[in-house]
A and B are shown apart, each in its own frame.
Chain A
Amino acid sequence: MRVRLQGFNIIIIVLSGIALAYVAYPLVTLMVFVEPTMLLHAILRPQLTNAFILSVFSATASTFLLCIFGIPLSYFLARFENFPGKFILRIIVIVPLVLPPLASGALLLGVFGPYSPIVKAFPAVEFTQSVLGIIIAQTYVASPFIILASQAAFESVDESYENIARVLGKTRIETFFRVSLPLAKTGIVVGLILSWVRAIGELGATMMMAYNPHTISIQIFEDNAIGGLRNAVPDIILAIVLSLIAVFVFYITRRRQRQDLLRLRW
């Protein structure tokens, strides 16, 4: 569509330009601090590579946990008939999204902190200041993304497909795996990507649960605190590369999701 430069269109273009510049300009200014030879040296620092690997591992692990527990919960919210208290469940699900991450971390410390019953029950397990602590924090904070996206994906699947599968002799579990899940697949994948990205970027709750070992976000925080922005640039560039890969996958999946929605709308 050719955009005509008049009235409403001009206002939209100007406001969009300001918004875009606001998001992109910090990325440009970051380049001022980049010195290529120093950058490579800094990136290969063991501290940073360890933080990078730990972030990828913990974010993947928490996304995997969300797959196992979050997807069934989203199906439950989308498909089970309205019952008293369902509204409360919907609110509980979005709590980690609206709560300040530090507050989420504090809540988790209440459950997994030194004097909690869970820790007393499993004294050999290190729930805080450990990789497990990071995964617990990331899973909590990233959970709304997968649950809300999957719930919307299941709701967009016409129930008649599931009913037909049942009438054709499939049990509820067969129907879930052969019809509901494949039809909601792209929406769920979008949720998984968003959860993974959120877990990678998680700082507040992770700081409360496990400041050590360092994730990439904590490494950025610490390098900036010790040596200023110039010191944190390599960490930030690594984080940006990770995010860009995720954003790329996200957009490809979103495109497929749109095509799927068109197909489902028949």
Chain B
Amino acid sequence: MVELELVNLTKKFVGGFRLGPLNLKVNDDQILVIIGPTGSGKTTVLNLISGLLKPDGGSILVDGRDITSVPVERRNIGYTFQNPSLFPHMNVYENIIFGIKKKWKHRNNNDVDINNLLEDLGISYLTHRRIHGLSGGEMQKVSLARMLITKPKIILMDEPLAHLDTATKRKLRIEMRHILRRQSAPTICVTHFEDDVYALADSVCVLQSGIVEYSSKLGSLMMTRQYDSNDKDSTSRLLSNILTSIQGNNYLEGNVIKSLGGITTFKAGSTLLETLGNYNIGSKVGILIRPEDIILSKEIVKTSARNVLRSKVVKITKYDAAIVDVFMVADSFHLTSRITEEARADLQIHQGDEVFAMFKASSPQVVREEEKEEE
């Protein structure tokens, strides 16, 4: 088991910005997503771990061994930058084999490794293409392949999806977690997109002005409802944004038990839910549902909505003059529905009431899929 540990790591810059003291621990079964505003020191953390920057104090330990003064090229760290930075004077294949050590270059199984990796990433067709003319998504995958072929002990990723269009970003985000989890290397991913947290993280850490303001497992964060988007404290605002990202603030996880004809049934807690798309049976999916897509009723009614959850109202807050947010607990998870105040009054929904929350199979958006773990 590989473990990365940062102990009291500090770095001071000429402009006055100071990072740390930073204490973090990441295991090889873990993807840590560091989130924070621009200038909070996220990239500096990665540059310190990779050795591109020298810390002023503290140490970086890999499996208990201090690597703080080990030169960059001997750290065996995989690092992808925000910009894929593929070497423009080499083709895709030359880029990928760039990091393979000379003594390995003539091994027979190199080509097999490369072919397997390219197939895994779905970019076999690019092997002999020139860099010029690749799409953003293709570039990012080639950059990932170039890093993974070196079998790094630690993986660092700086805003890996920042330059991609929305559709590619959504697709690659889910694929990336699969790819990274297969490496069994402690992984740190830096982002300022809240959506990346859902898709990639096992743990989340919020960095503000060089200091870790919050750190927890993703699951614990999802169960929390105490963050307010209007809060003066920027960490609370950031966490609230994660929970209320543009795609919605209802996040559920469940195991796929059936997937047929474009409809997938998964079990969240003890409730069966349906969503569109085909996913692997046994895999764990994470879905987002916009609060506006959840409708409420006081009794079971026959509608076209495929998902019905018996829930208990725990809180009702005003969203604006005409709209309220109804917070509920259903089974083992939290749900929020956004309805008009008029509808709430009509239905006589109050705190402590039992209601039925309904949404169509087309409402959830799958943002994360984890393969079934080997027994």
Contact = CB atoms under 8 A, between A and B. Distances in A.
Interface stretch (A126-134, A140-148, A165-173): A165-173
A169 B146 CA distance: 12
Closest 10 CB pairs of A and B: A168-B99, A166-B72, A263-B88, A160-B85, A167-B79, A182-B89, A169-B73, A164-B85, A160-B81, A166-B73
Contact of B73 (A158, A170, A178): A170
Contacts of A165: 87, 98
Contacts of B88: 183, 260, 263-264, 266
Contacts of A161: 85, 87
Query: Among the interface residues A165, A169, A171, which one has the most CB atoms of the partner chain B within 10 A?
Result: A169
A97 interface: no
Given A167-B52, A167-B75, 18 more contacts: A160-B81, A160-B83, A161-B87, A163-B52, A164-B81, A164-B85, A164-B87, A166-B52, A166-B73, A167-B50, A167-B73, A167-B77, A167-B78, A167-B79, A169-B150, A170-B73, A179-B87, A266-B83
Contacts of B99: 168-170
Contact of B72 (A160, A167, A260): A167
B104 to A, nearest CB: 11
5 contacts: A161-B85, A167-B50, A168-B73, A169-B99, A169-B101
B132 interface: yes
B216 interface: no
B76 interface: yes
Interface in B108-165: 131-132, 146-147, 150
Contacts of A171: 73
Interface string B193-206: 00000000000000
Task: Indicate the size class of the contact surface on chain A.
Answer: 20 to 34
Query: Among the interface residues B52, B74, B131, which one has the most CB atoms of the partner chain A within 10 A?
Result: B52
B20 to A, nearest CB: 21
A166 B78 CA distance: 11
Nearest to A174: B73
Contacts, number: 59
A181 B52 CA distance: 20
B320 to A, nearest CB: 44
Nearest to A265: B88
A48 B131 CA distance: 50
Nearest to B84: A266
Contacts of A160: 81, 83, 85
Contacts of A264: 88
A179 to B, nearest CB: 6
Contact of A158 (B72, B76, B85): B85
Contacts of A183: 87-89
B52 A263 contact: no
A233 to B, nearest CB: 45
Given A183-B88, A264-B88, A266-B88, A169 B76 contact: yes
Contacts of B50: 167
Contacts of B52: 163, 166-167
A117 to B, nearest CB: 41
Contacts of B146: 168
Interface in A146-164: 158, 160-161, 163-164
A122 to B, nearest CB: 41
Contacts of A163: 52, 81, 85
Contacts of A158: 83, 85
A24 to B, nearest CB: 38
Contact of A168 (B89, B98, B131): B98
Contacts of B98: 165, 168, 170, 178
Nearest to A157: B88
A173 B52 CA distance: 16
A164 B95 CA distance: 11
Query: Among the interface residues B52, B73, B98, B132, which one has the most CB atoms of the partner chain A within 10 A?
Result: B73
B150 A263 contact: no
Contacts of B101: 169
Interface string B43-54: 000000011100
A30 to B, nearest CB: 43
Interface string A228-251: 000000000000000000000000
A197 to B, nearest CB: 26
Contacts of B79: 164, 167
A263 B132 contact: yes
Contacts of B147: 168
A57 to B, nearest CB: 32
Interface string B63-78: 0000000001111111
A61 B13 CA distance: 46
A139 to B, nearest CB: 29
B275 to A, nearest CB: 37
